[in-house]
Amino acid sequence: MDTNNTSRKEFLAAMLLTGLAATGCSDKKNPFENIDEKPQATGEKVKLLSVDGEVIEVDRAFLKPVPEMPHISNSEERKGIAGKKFVMVIDLSRCKNLRKCQNACNHMHHIHSDLNWLKVYPMKEDAHTAPYWQPTTCMHCDEPPCVKVCPVDATFKRQDGIVLIDSDRCIGCRFCMAACPYSTRVFNWEKPDIPQDIADQPYSCETSIPQKKGTVGKCDFCPDMARKGELPHCVSACPNGTFFFGDMNEDSVTNGAETFRFTDLIRDKAGYRLMDDLGTKPSVYYLPPVNRNFPFEKGLENEKS
């Protein structure tokens, strides 16, 4: 019998008992107590999508909080999310000009109300056709002319299809604004009025904050939300489900309440892209304003002069 090993085991056992006794006598909670304690059910049910694709309900008490996503590097922001090809569909029959989308975008990106990244235009093809409202964002083109003219690589296209601006590189030449056929970019002529804690943050291409005087800003498709598996702010803010967002590679788009196959939706609803003949290949598609949910006149109260 190995007496050395026996003595060693007895010594370790004695040390463990001493440690447990000391823990029990201290004011701190014994870490071995209630190790199998389970959370108490609240009765509040939350719907989740299971790994099998089925909708299930669980009590909120059993959900574990999602930790904050770590800050990613500028090179990772410029690269994008692997395997994704983001796309947006806007159903013009659902828009009532409430501008909830615009307000949410301005609020989350700390944009001045005069520099809207998302604009809602009253549209009418000619004197004898029906008017409608058209929300307009950056088109995140597959062939973006803005990227081609930027002399400092401040405007760039990611592998997931999103076109972003790096304000740390932007020199304010506005070549990109002149090149964009959709006029969706704005220029920060004045220092943005943002909280000091936001102003002190290092600039992030994915959040587009903090905005800087003398640089260009635009819709960014909220890639920071996409990394967390959440929808862009304009999509989640619209009460009428006007905006759909998703992944073309997965052939799926959703407004949070409804989910469709992207190809089926575009085919069955006669989807189209703005100025498609220019060859910019936009990632934003529109569904025509047929069978509209609201009369055009009811949206006029929100129209600005």
Q: Which residue has the higher pLDDT, 230 or 23?
A: 230
Write the DSSP assignment of 164-227 as a string of letters: EE-TTT-----HHHHH-TT---EE--S-----HHHHTSPPBTTTTBS--TTSEE-----HHHHH
Angle 254-284-170 (CA atoms, 0-180°, nearest 5)? Answer: 115
Q: Which residues contact 154 (CB under 8 A, 6 or more apart)?
A: 165, 166, 167, 169, 170, 171, 176, 216
CA-to-CA distance for 161 and 221, rounded, in angstroms? 10
Q: 164-220 pLDDT, tens per residue? A: 999 999 999 999 999 999 999 999 999 888 889 888 888 999 999 999 999 999 999
Per the listing, tokens 């997965």 go with: 250
φ, ψ at 245 (rounded to 5°): -135, 145
Query: Rounded to the nearest 5 degrees, what angle is found at the Cα of 297, between the Cα atoms of 295 and 300?
Result: 130
pLDDT band at 44 (very low <50, low <70, confident <90, very high): confident
Which residue type sits at 181?
P
pLDDT of residue 26: 45
Q: Tell me the average pLDDT across 235-256.
A: 97
Higher pLDDT, 1 or 162: 162
Query: Helices (DSSP H) in the chain: which residue ranges?
Result: 3-25, 74-79, 100-109, 145-149, 175-179, 196-199, 223-227, 233-237, 262-268
Query: What CATH code is carried by the domain that includes residue 216?
Result: 3.30.70.20
| Residue 182 located in a structural domain | yes
Positive or negative, the CA dihedral 241, 243, 246, 248 is: positive
Q: Residue 239, exposed/middle/buried by CB under 10 A (0-12, 13-18, 19+)?
A: exposed
pLDDT at residue 52 greater than cutoff 50: yes
Evaluate whether residue 118 is within a structural domain: yes
**pLDDT of 29 over the 60 cut:** no
Q: Is residue 238 part of a domain?
A: yes
- Percent of the chain residues topping a pLDDT of 90: 64
| pLDDT: which is higher, 3 or 287 | 287
Please indicate whether residue 8 or residue 281 has the higher confidence score (pLDDT): 281
Q: Is residue 251 part of a domain?
A: yes
Q: For residue 12, name the pLDDT band (cuts at 50, 70, 90).
A: very low
Q: Within a domain: residue 212?
A: yes
Instruction: Output the pTM of the full model.
Output: 0.76
Strand order in the sheet with 86-91: 259-261, 252-254, 243-247, 86-91, 284-287
Least confident of 46-55, 142-151, 162-171: 46-55
Q: Burial, 173: exposed, middle or buried (Cβ in 10 Å; 0-12, 13-18, 19+)?
A: middle
Which tens digit of pLDDT belongs to each residue from 58-115?
888 877 765 555 578 999 999 999 999 999 999 999 999 999 999 999 999 999 878 9
Task: Provide the number of structural domains found in the chain.
Answer: 1
Range of the domain at 103: 87-302
Task: Tell me whether residue 34 is in a domain.
Answer: no
Please report whether residue 189 resides in a domain. yes
Answer whether residue 63 is part of any domain.
no
Q: What pLDDT, in 10s, does the model give residues 136-145?
A: 999 999 999 9
